[in-house]
Amino acid sequence: MDLYFNAYILKMQWSKKHIISIKDFSRAEIDFVLEKSARMEGLLASGKSTKLMSDKILATLFFEPSTRTKMSFEAAMLRLGGRVIGFSGVSDTSIEKGETMLDTVRMAAGYADMIVMRHPVEGSSRLASENVDVPVINGGDGANQHPTQTLLDLYTIKKQFGKIDGMNICMVGDLKYGRTIHSLVDALKMYDVELRFISPQNLKIPAYMTKELKKSKIKFEEREDLNVQGCDIVYVQRIQRERFPDPQEYEKVKDCYVVDLGVADMMKENAIIMHALPRVTEIKHEVDETKNAKYFQQARNGVPVRMAVLCLVSGVDF
């Protein structure tokens, strides 16, 4: 009875809400999405068709290129019986003629029932959400937030281990610029986890984040060597050329960690390797066939999670 009531209350809070930052959500709200995502995955697996979003249009506004996030949102919307309009990259759009981001988003809000957007400027999704009357989902705003990535990361962990509490999670690579890592850490702060940060000296996790972790009483360690022993999850973060102000800084560190069969062997029996993809050289292809490699399944999890998110923001019951 209480549980049912809670779910009802949570759904009400979700209804028509924008998804801008994982920080906007409580643990209860996140757990609610994960539960709903599992229901969506069951629905997908059953092969039954859903019409939950029929007659609804999603606008995918990708001011910055993306394949994975865009195709995954599109697949989610189509699996729900909905339809999609949008653009990818600004070379073919009015932005080239000097239109502001806000005008473009306002225009799209006149055509669609909800918007997912990616834009290079931090805070752009928040600004957009405050100026239109349809739900806005942040599909990445520069180095800042990418909340549905975090939700699918958490979903992947929970699906694998049945829980998030108690996990020992190791993050490897660019912990300074990697927004995926920042969002995930923001969410994990609300759980009872242990963290290990492995990065070169100049790509350490920001000091303000370790400060917050201490405040949240999350146990963590920082190190430079690729020691993943004892971890349940190894989350590899690509070192992204495009986030580096100085290309020389990038060249110095780009290949500093490579997860190969040796590293995989070092891991616990049922530990998993995650990666937001695209992967370049930081995980060797030989690792793909190991039972630890979960990054392709992780990407696949984006569909049920985004299906759940699309329904929740538009107040569709399921």
Give the active site residues: 68-69, 97, 118, 146
The DSSP element (H or E) to which 84 belongs, if any, is strand 83-88
- Which residue in the set 6, 9, 28, 65 belongs to the binding site for a second copy (CB under 8 A)? 65
277 contacts a second copy (rule: CB under 8 A) = yes
- Which residue in the set 18, 19, 34, 86 belongs to the binding site for a second copy (CB under 8 A)? 86
Long-range contacts from 4-8, C-beta under 8 angstroms, 24+ separation: 7/32
- Which residue in the set 14, 25, 32, 62 belongs to the binding site for a second copy (CB under 8 A)? 62
Closest CB 297 distance from a second copy, rounded Å = 8
Closest CB 11 distance from a second copy, rounded Å = 20
Radius of gyration of the chain (CA): 19
**Which residues between 206 and 245 bind a second copy (CB under 8 A)?**
240-242
CA distance 109 to 129: 10
CA distance 275 to 300: 12
Q: Enumerate the H helices of the chain as residue ranges.
A: 2-14, 27-46, 68-79, 101-111, 124-129, 147-161, 179-188, 207-215, 247-253, 261-266, 295-313
**Which residues between 105 and 124 bind a second copy (CB under 8 A)?**
106-108, 110-112
Q: Indicate left, alpha or beta for 188 from its phi (over 0: left) and psi (-120 to 50: alpha).
A: alpha
104 contacts a second copy (rule: CB under 8 A) = yes
97 contacts a second copy (rule: CB under 8 A) = yes
CA distance 253 to 154: 28
Cα distances (Å, whole numbers) of residue 43 to 75, 224, 304? 14, 43, 9
42 contacts a second copy (rule: CB under 8 A) = no
Shorter beta-carbon distance to a second copy: residue 123 or 194: 123
83 contacts a second copy (rule: CB under 8 A) = yes
- Could you list the residues that contact a second copy (CB under 8 A)? 47, 49, 54-55, 57, 59, 62, 65-68, 71-72, 74-75, 78-79, 83, 85-89, 91-100, 102-104, 106-108, 110-112, 240-242, 277-281, 285, 296-297, 299-300, 302-303
